[in-house]
Structure 1
Amino acid sequence: MSRVAVVTSSPPFAEGGHLVIARSLVTALREAGHEAEIVVTPSHRFGRQASGYLATWLTDVGHAADGRRVDQVISLRYPSYAVRHPVHVCWLNHRMREYYDLWDEFYASLGPFQRPKERARRLAIRVADRYLLTRNVKRLFAQSNAIQARLVRFGGILSEVLYPPAPQRPYRCDSYGDYVFAVSRLTPIKRMDLLVEAMALPQCRAIRCVIGGDGSERERLERLIAERGLGGRVTLAGSLDSEGLVRHLAACRAVCFPTRAEDYGLVTVEAFRSAKAVITCEDSGGLLSQHVTLHHDASFSQFAGPVGWFGTLVKTGVTRILFSCAADEAR
């Protein structure tokens, strides 16, 4: 049995897919007979990113509180890969995208006095990321083809793709109900407003919508729902626990995934495990490279959902791969 630290970063009071993946990885490692814990490192806001990288670099993950050695580290999200350990595998969720593929729109939102500072920070973070991902880790995996492509495009960094499986939950399909379900952090890039606007179209009058999650866009979505007169058909359900998430996945007609240029899209895998079709956009990225149209007839969802579900039956062996690769490097 080995002792493994799963390291990811997170700002306070934030719940995202990286934490879900980290918890699932810890569970899988424990089931495989290892001792595993999550170590959460800082994720500082704009203007303080350097201190987040430095704090992570100085974090001691070599030994636990009892003095015993930590055998391996698996890091996920920036800047968690700045931790130092002789047996360090990075299973990359993403870098700070505002300094990479989202730079143009981020830069356009800045004032004239902010732009020089952010250009300097962008350069510093890019240099640090390239060093850390090529010199500080023994092996680099990307959680999707999109992440792998960005690593090559921005930095010429090579990696292997290793998709996260669906988290360990009691998925089921109870019915194909009268509503579309979406769940995400409510931020602009997740584009839940597209779903709300679609619900206002005449051809969508026969179906409801439930949106799970919280975030900075909630108030704007509430106003949009009121303006479109959708209070009786669109529900903002707030944060959902695991039981509530599984219940909605089991009862909905389909899952909507309207986000832009997603890294992976964990909810799509969970939808497939629940035998539900996924409605998405041509530029949503992640796992889905094609889009489907939701018909009023639930039979379409009953066909498309199981097709997706069968695609998740193949076991990826993620835990074994991450652990064995690091062990090979250590020898």
Structure 2
Amino acid sequence: MIRKHHRNNLSAMKSETNKKRILVVTSRLPFVYGGNSILAQSISANLTRMGYWSDIWFTPQNRFGRQAAAYFANRLTDLGLTGTDEQIDGIISLRFPSFAVKHPYHVCWINHCMREYYDLWDHHRTKLTSPFAVSKEHIRKWMIHKIDKYLLAHNVTKLFAQSKNIAYRLKDSVGIQCEVLYPPPRSDFSYEHGKYDDYILSVSRLNKRKRHDLFIKSFALLKKCQIKGIIAGDGEEYTYLKQLIEEKGLENQVQLLGAVSVEKLNSLYSNALAVFFAPVDEDYGNVTLEAFRFGKPVISAPDSGGPLEFIHHGENGFIVDPEPQQIADIFIKLFENKSQTRDMGTFAYEMSLEHTWENTIPRLVPSG
């Protein structure tokens, strides 16, 4: 018995010694916490659960107009060894400028490059106030495209896009082709299926491109209906959205909760009738598969980008024009036909099961 116990201890020690160390590398601005940070945490948590040593490393991302220094700082970052001089076996980078980091086994699972110089260029250009500023930004755009193309072609071992929308942007902008690998739903929710209560949930950062104002304006057409709206998230549009709710007289129908805990958001998802997620040209959109895993249909728009890669109109959600009346009509349909809403939620849940961390992690780490 003693010898057997000793052999088991040696086996366990050897197993711990042989565990690969995988570092998740990404960047974010101070006091900004969104889908990118949540994804980094989910990757690291699932790496650990599946038998790897894992940590998250946030690299510098400067303010707008100072990105050259950020790229340079990332390029000089040494991630070959841990703080105790043990080998890091692989890194997984997620976005600019973190994919500039050097490592012998570097998988880039890209969310996006600097969007102002890619898909948001036309919008960015309209804010420039002088010919000099336009010329300067054209040069910056050209330089960043050249740098990104070089890094994504020569600095990474593997390149995956988190959605078809992201893959299309890369090919269209810099001629880089990559395989699509969808992130599974985040791993810190229970995903319990609750009741289909009388509220629609809208969850994401309070940013203009997320179109929470459209959600509120839709409820302005439903004042005689029992259905309610809940907005969960924080961001620069909080004050504007609060004022809009008051202007429309919706204080008793639409709640603006601000940032909520994971436990609270879990409960909101679990008991919602459905989820509204209709951003403008979203990269990927974690919300869609999160809602599906909770068994909730999703309402989106034809120009919403990433969510459209999962939503089958009339089967696990609805894709409707971003007009308040059309969205309000869908809310009523879901409310008045809860049996159909449940069936759609069931289909959404079954579809979400196609995307698991057990199938995803092995594609992001060194084999063997």
TM tier, smaller: over 0.9
Contact in 1 for aligned 2:300/2:307 (Cα 8 Å): no
Task: Give 1:1-331 correspondences, 5 Å limit.
Answer: 1-112=19-130, 113-168=132-187, 169-202=189-222, 205-289=225-309, 290-291=312-313, 292=318, 293-294=330-331, 295=333, 296-297=335-336, 298-316=338-356, 317-323=359-365, 326-327=366-367
- 1:220 is displaced (CA, Å) by 1.1
Q: In structure 2, what residue type is equivalent to 1:130? A: K
CA distance in 1, matches of 2:91, 2:222: 53
Q: CA deviation at 1:111?
A: 1.3
Give, in whole Å, the separation in 2 of the partners of 1:121 and 1:109.
Answer: 15
* Same amino acid, percent of matched pairs: 43
The alignment partner of 2:174 has SS state of coil
| Structure 2: distance between partners of 1:225 and 1:206 | 17
Provide, for residues 114-164 of structure 1, a one-character-per-residue CA deviation record: whole Å limited to 9, x for no partner: 322222211111111111100100110001111111111111101111000
For residue 47 of structure 1, what is the amino acid of its counterpart?
G
Give the deviation of 1:246 after TM superposition. 0.8
User: How far apart are the structure 1 equivalents of 2:242 and 2:260?
Assistant: 18
What are the ranges of 5 or more consecutive residues in structure 1 without an aligned counterpart? none
Q: Where is the helix percentage greater, Structure 1 or Structure 2?
A: 2
Partner of 2:276: helix, strand, or coil?
Answer: strand
Q: In structure 2, how many angstroms separate the alpha carbons of the residues matched to 1:235 and 1:92?
A: 34
Distance across 1 between alignment mates of 2:89 and 2:301? 42
Cα offset, 1:203, TM superposition: 7.4
* Cα offset, 1:58, TM superposition: 1.4
Q: Deviations over 1:277-310 (max 9, x none)?
A: 1011111111325551331313332121111100
Q: Matched residues in 2 for 1:204 and 1:215: separation?
A: 30
CA distance in 2, matches of 1:264, 1:305: 20
Contact 1:199 / 1:205 at 8 angstroms: preserved in 2? no
The CA deviation at 1:195 is 0.5
**Cα deviation per residue 1:49-79 (whole Å; 9 max; x = unaligned)?**
1111111111111111111111111100111
- Say whether the 8 Å CA contact 1:93–1:147 is kept in structure 2: yes
Gaps of 5+ in 2: 1-18, 319-329
DSSP-derived class of the 1:177 partner: coil
Q: Which of structures 1 and 2 has the bigger CA Rg? A: 2
Number of equivalences: 326
* TM-score, normalising length: structure 1: 0.95
Instruction: Report the secondary structure of 2:348's partner residue.
Output: helix
Amino acid at match of 2:202: A
8 Å contact 2:165–2:306 — kept in the other structure? yes
* 2:76 aligned partner, one-letter code: L
C-alpha RMSD of matched pairs (Å): 1.5
Secondary structure of 2:24's match?
strand
